[in-house]
Amino acid sequence: MKKLITIFFAFSLLMCGVTVAQDTMKQDPMKSDKAAKEVKITGKISDDGKSFVNDKDSKSWTINNPEAVKGHEGHHVTLSAHVYADKGEVHVMSLKMAADKAKKASKY
Ligand SMILES: [Cu+2]
């Protein structure tokens, strides 16, 4: 009987190990999200707050977390963002009003 319990215990430990391994694999996409390079880009947020146009090359990016730029629609800003070039998306980590338009923005 004791032996059976030991075997059962060992087996459940094994199952736990498998579950943990699966969880780790599921988290991998998130890990690669975090690994995406964070860059600073200056440009203008669209009036609907859903996209962003880079000053340098006039390239338009989709903002995949528009809530992060709420209240800055149409503003000229410097974003600190993760860039997903393959999808044409940016994930905004933080935002700063660009200095040259700060005066104008203070009206809002
Ligand atoms: Cu703003």
Instruction: Dump pLDDT digits (tens) for 50-73.
Output: 999 999 999 999 999 999 999 999
CATH number of 36-105: 2.40.50
How is residue 75 annotated by DSSP? -
Task: Please give the model's pTM, rounded to 2 decimal places.
Answer: 0.60
Give residue 53 CA to ligand 1 midpoint distance, Å. 14
Q: In the chain, which stretches have pLDDT less than 70?
A: 1, 5, 7-8, 11-35, 100-108
Give residue 101 CA to ligand 1 midpoint distance, Å. 9
Give residue 45 CA to ligand 1 midpoint distance, Å. 9
Residues in Cβ contact with 53 at an 8 Å cutoff, skipping those fewer than 6 apart: 43, 44, 46, 59, 60, 61
Give residue 102 CA to ligand 1 midpoint distance, Å. 8
